[in-house]
Each structure stands twice: as C-alpha cells, then as structure tokens.
Amino acid sequence: MIGCTIRRFETCTSTNDEATKWAGQHRDRAPHGGVIVADTQTGGRGRLGRVWHSPAGENLYFSVVLRPQLPLHRVPPITLCAGLAVCEAVNAMGVAASIKWPNDVLVGDCKLAGVLTEMSTQSQHSPQTGPSDTAVIVGIGVNVNSRRFPPELCATSVANETGADCDRFTLLGEILTRMDSWVEQYCAHGVGALQQAFESHNQLRGHKVVAKVKGVLVSGRVVALAEDGSLLMKDDHGTEHRIVAGEVTRLENVV
Ligand code: BT5
C-alpha cells in the first residue's frame, strides 16, 4: 500500500536520492509503497538534470518507492499513474489541472507539478541480488502554497489557483491514495486501465505538437495514448507516429 511507511526529512538533496538509498538498504529497506517526504531539497531535480525549485515549508516534495512485478518496458506508464493521482487530487480542490504527457501537471500553460521516475538497482553492490531488488522511484513535486516563483518559470500553485492556503499533508494523503489505486490497476490491467482517465485529463489531446521521433523532429496532432503508454500522433500526411519519450511542444492552442 502506497504510504504504508512515510519517512520525513526537514531537508535533503533530493527525495529521489533518499528513496534510492532507502530502497537499497540491506536492513530495514523500503517496502513497496514507502514514501520519503522533505520540507525542502537542496538538489531537487527534474529530467535531464534540470533543477526543481524547492523552497522550504511551502510545497510537497516526495518520492514513492515501488517494487512492481513488471518488466522494465512496462515501467514508464507509472509516471502517468502519478500524474493522474495529482490531477485528480487537485481537481477535487477546484483546481483545473491537466496532464501534459508524460510527466507534467499544468493549469493552462503553467506548471503545477512534475514527476521524475527513476530506477534503482542494487545489483552493482551485491552480485547475489536478483530482479526483485530493482525498485522504481517516483519523485513528485507539487507547488502547493508558493505564491511567487522565479520569473523564468511558468509555474503556479494550488494556493494561487484557489486563493487559499492548502494543508500540504492532507493533499499528500489524497495523492497517495489515488496513486495506490492507479498503480494497482495499471499493474493488473495495463495501460488500458488508465486510458479513459488519461484522455479526460490529456492537455495535448487534439493539439498540434512537435516532438522527436527516432531522433527526428515531427509535427502533427495528438491522437491518443497508445497501449504501451507512448503518445500517438498523426502528421499532416496521416501517418501515425509513436512518441516514446522526451519533450512534446504544443504549437498552438486551437483544438
Ligand atoms: C519534472 O522535470 O517536471 C520533474 C520534477 C520532479 C520533482 C520532484 S520533487 C521530489 C522529487 N525529488 C527530486 O529531486 N525530484 C522529484 P522536467 O520535466 O525536466 O521539468 C523541469 C523544469 O520544470 C525545469 O527546467 C523548470 O523549467 C521547471 N520547474 C522547476 N521547478 C519548478 C517548480 N517548482 N514549479 C514549476 N516548474 C518548475
């Protein structure tokens, strides 16, 4: 159960680092669903080593340790489970958030939350360990009560959207409960279990986007979430492409 054990830090470099350490401990190691939460991070990060702005005492920075019985290629859609959980939890508070595939939660064009999924494996430390020692670390940053952001960020928070401060730990509980349910459904039934909910929160649906497909920039309209969790896009000639990873840029706001 996600949230079965929660370890809280005042500060750390990154909750993903703490979760990775905990996942790899020989004694008292993180169970499936263990959570690390910190009040601030000195080295909070996004994908490709980008910085995650992590001021103290205002927002949520946490990482969930998962030990799903899944082959590696089925891990990426777990990011969508986390995004859906955040979206639904803040939607319930009146915030009109949507998911920008694969890992952003936005309100309009401003980022409310981001997800960073990493793998942690112990095999290099201990040759006798097997695949069950591989853990998936899902790091989630949610802007909850920050009212101002560095000018270079297009960011928003729950408090900016609702006009009121929000109890961070109540929101954390809501996110973890929803994430537990989505991860369970995904592990049991695959991406099909996420498709309907994802489509109703899909910020890119029907929009013209540009993305890298096999190293080449391709533009087209987003069609749907494919059964492997990639994003299906149709170019101007009607050819379908699968966006497997990376950045998707929206070209215009007209659906
Ligand atoms: C992400 O990366 O969006 C994943 C962010 C994950 C953060 C959590 S916090 C808990 C856990 N511990 C960590 O160290 N990380 C995870 P990406 O898609 O690469 O987006 C990064 C970009 O988002 C940056 O380059 C900025 O432009 C923008 N950004 C940084 N901090 C932000 C913030 N607080 N709010 C909105 N946008 C932000």
Per-residue pLDDT of 156-203, as tens digits, reads 999 999 999 999 999 999 999 999 999 999 999 999 999 999 999 999
Which tens digit of pLDDT belongs to each residue from 29-46? Answer: 999 999 999 999 999 999
Cα–chain center distance at 86: 8
Q: Report whether residue 45 contacts ligand 1, using a CB cutoff of 6 Å.
A: yes
Centre of ligand 1 to C-alpha 238, Å, is 34
The whole-number pLDDT of residue 42 equals 98
Centre of ligand 1 to C-alpha 194, Å, is 23
The whole-number pLDDT of residue 122 equals 62
At residue 67, what is the residue type? R
Of 53-67, 141-155, 231-245, give the lowest mean pLDDT range. Answer: 231-245
User: How many CA atoms, within 13 angstroms, populate the side-chain half-sphere of residue 135?
Assistant: 26
Residues 2-9: what's their mean pLDDT?
A: 96
Handedness of CA 211, 215, 216, 220 (dihedral sign): negative
Give whole-number Cα distances, 62 to 8, 46, 112, 194, 250, in Å: 9, 13, 15, 22, 28
Contact call for residues 165 and 62 (beta carbons, < 8 A): no
- Band (pLDDT 50/70/90 cuts) for residue 134 is confident
Contact call for residues 136 and 75 (beta carbons, < 8 A): yes
* Best probe residue, ligand 1, of 13, 52, 116, 157 (max atoms within 8 Å of C-beta): 52
Q: Report whether residue 144 contacts ligand 1, using a CB cutoff of 6 Å.
A: no
The conformational region for residue 66 under phi > 0 = left, psi -120 to 50 = alpha, else beta, is beta
The whole-number pLDDT of residue 123 equals 47
Q: In angstroms, rounded to a whole number, what is the distance separating the alpha carbons of residues 60 and 49?
A: 19
Q: In angstroms, rounded to a whole number, what is the distance separating the alpha carbons of residues 44 and 238?
A: 41
Residues 93-108: what's their mean pLDDT?
A: 97
The whole-number pLDDT of residue 26 equals 87
Give whole-number Cα distances, 153 to 1, 14, 31, 32, 211, in Å: 34, 20, 35, 34, 21
Residues 99-127: what's their mean pLDDT?
A: 86
Q: Report whether residue 20 contacts ligand 1, using a CB cutoff of 6 Å.
A: no
